[in-house]
Structure 1
Amino acid sequence: MSLLLTAGLLGIVEGLTEFLPVSSTGHLILAAKFFGYDDSQWAVFDIVIQLGAILAVVVHYWRTFWAVLQGLIRREPLAIRFLVNLLVAFIPAVVLGLIFKKKIDVLLESPMVVAWALLVGGVAILAIERVVKPGEYEGLGQLSTKKALGVGFMQCLAMIPGVSRSGATIMGALCMGINRATAAEFSFFLAIPTMLGATVLQLASHRHELMSGSSAVGVNEIAVGFVVSFVVALAVIKGFVAYVGRHGFTPFAIYRILAGAAAIYALSHMA
């Protein structure tokens, strides 16, 4: 498989899975294992294409961010609460991510951890869907700081590859009585500081590789992956909130269970 084709396929995987509750990191880890490419050579690529997904959120919700910026200038309470809630939810990932970075890096090397996390996470989503009653719609600026912090701690579960950042935040929000649409939007907004922070940290750890240009994956592959990730993620964001509002998260749970079970079987039979 050519490098450009691999870049395009990985861009599709990132764009499709980053904001769905199925784990983009987990899918990229499994892709490296099953398709046999050297994921260490694609480390910088995987980092940069996440920025494409982040850009998709900014583009889709630009009116919201513009309104918040104007509200902050005018010191409007809803705009201030929006920013405060976003920062409060972001803090747990920063603190715990720095504390457990080495252990997280070890987990990222285990496809079997991803497979089991997919399966168990799917079962958890099914259980939450059956037990939890959806709450009323609230904007991020209307949520209490306590709920925002709770969602932030739930996001930390995604440090285990395969758990899914969006899945952990959305399901955690539902358990706290937050409406499905609000939970999904909160997850999208929270992705921006979280993914930017993770990207900066990873770029810093790969700075020598970037400066030397030693990676086999070049600018062309990164550009293809970035653009594809952005376009696919933008399409996913546009349709996801409307879809879960009508159908819930059960289809994603079933997919996780099937994908996790298949991966466990395949990995256990690989030499």
Structure 2
Amino acid sequence: MNTLEAIIIAVIEGLTEYLPISSTAHMIFTGSLLGIEENNFVKMFEYCIQFGAILAVVVLYWKKFFDFKKINFYLKLVCAVIPALILGKLFSDKIDDVLEKPEIIAIVLVLGGIVLLFIDRFFKNPTILKEENITIKQAITIGFWQCLAMMPGTSRSAASIIGGMQQKLSREVAAEFSFFLAVPTMLAVTVYSLTLKTWEEGDLKMKGYELLLSNSEHFGLFILGNIIAFVVSIFAIKFFVGVIKKHGFKIWGWYRIIIGTLLLIYFYFFQHK
């Protein structure tokens, strides 16, 4: 991966992480279209530049994250992230081995798009219009919904937003709680990738931070990618909130269907030759 490719992947991450369109799918497909070699550093880079996206939420909603008097807010996030931590540890690598194939991800994009076309009809008359009114039980339920995103192409944002609306949250509150929940979820993924997960590099096995520090170019790309993901995510979050207030989720459903269909055509006619 060269500098330009790292910048493009980081922009894609920043644009798509908080939209219900699957950042993982977009990074995988972008890497494939650019011809980026899929090695361990590239995989770790894609996981860990989520840290920049995390910081964007913390900065935009800093009053929420630094109001230490509202312990209930932190408690809800901790409870909501537990299902992802447990199920992710048990099944994430196995699911990726089976399902992280471009054609399957494209199909999941289309199917998820169809769901988004009708989500505003499915969940009418929300009763929770403020984050403060979300209960611990509802937060945990949303956390389980988020686990659907372990299937590549589903979208963590889409899964948790749908879960929120199923729990009677308004679409704006569901989207914002999805942003909040992303912070501990993606922080856990980043920390796991850097400090706990063992990556194979040739005959060597090393932790993520060792892989990162083994090459000065790797470290530079890592820092650059996080900075770009942070900046782009700030604009993407503001844009997304504005769109769902006016138009709901149908536009994202059509986007997923169109992109997923185009990718299926691409992989069928061009990749299988």
TM-score over 0.5 for the pair: yes
Match of residue 152, structure 1, among 122, 126, 143: 143
1:203-222 to 2 correspondence within 5 Å? 203=194, 204-205=196-197, 206=199, 207-208=206-207, 210-211=209-210, 213=213, 218-222=218-222
1:38-57 to 2 correspondence within 5 Å? 38-40=37-39, 41-57=41-57
Match of residue 183, structure 1, among 174, 177, 187: 174
Q: TM-score under structure 1 normalisation? A: 0.90
The structure 1 segments of at least 4 consecutive aligned residues displaced by more than 3 Å after TM superposition are 206-210, 212-217
Match of residue 120, structure 1, among 104, 111, 120: 111
Q: Is the 8 A contact 1:136 1:179 kept in 2?
A: yes
CA distance in 2, matches of 1:36, 1:189: 34
CA distance in 2, matches of 1:125, 1:258: 13
Q: Is the 8 A contact 1:107 1:113 kept in 2?
A: no
**Aligned residue number for residue 21 of structure 1:** 20
CA distance in 2, matches of 1:183, 1:159: 19
Where 2:142 maps in the other structure, the secondary structure is helix
Q: Structure 1: where are the runs of 5+ without partners?
A: 72-78
Residues 70-95 of structure 1 deviation map (CA, whole Å, 9 limit, x = unaligned): x1xxxxxxx23222221221111111
1:152-171 to 2 correspondence within 5 Å? 152-171=143-162
**Post-superposition offset of 1:37:** 0.7
Q: Relative to structure 1, is the Cα distance of residues 39 and 176 closer, same or farther in structure 2, using a 3 angstrom cutoff?
A: same
Where 1:39 maps in the other structure, the secondary structure is coil
Q: Relative to structure 1, is the Cα distance of residues 246 and 32 closer, same or farther in structure 2, using a 3 angstrom cutoff?
A: same
CA distance in 2, matches of 1:138, 1:160: 30
Residues 157-202 of structure 1 deviation map (CA, whole Å, 9 limit, x = unaligned): 0000100000000012112211111101100000011001111222
**Aligned residue number for residue 4 of structure 1:** 3
Q: Relative to structure 1, is the Cα distance of residues 126 and 60 closer, same or farther in structure 2, using a 3 angstrom cutoff?
A: same
Which sits farther off after the overlay, 26-35 or 188-197? 26-35
Q: TM-score under structure 2 normalisation? A: 0.89
> CA RMSD of the aligned region, Å?
1.9
Q: Is the 8 A contact 1:85 1:140 kept in 2?
A: no
CA distance in 2, matches of 1:262, 1:217: 34
Q: Is the 8 A contact 1:80 1:141 kept in 2?
A: no
Residues 21-45 of structure 1 deviation map (CA, whole Å, 9 limit, x = unaligned): 0011111111222221112241232
Q: Please state if 1:243 is matched with 2:253.
A: no
Q: Which amino acid aligns with 1:51?
A: F
Q: Is the 8 A contact 1:52 1:227 kept in 2?
A: yes
Q: Which amino acid aligns with 1:99?
A: L
Q: Which amino acid aligns with 2:53?
A: A
Where 2:162 maps in the other structure, the secondary structure is helix
**Post-superposition offset of 1:214:** 5.1
Q: Is the 8 A contact 2:148 2:154 kept in 1?
A: yes
**Post-superposition offset of 1:126:** 1.0
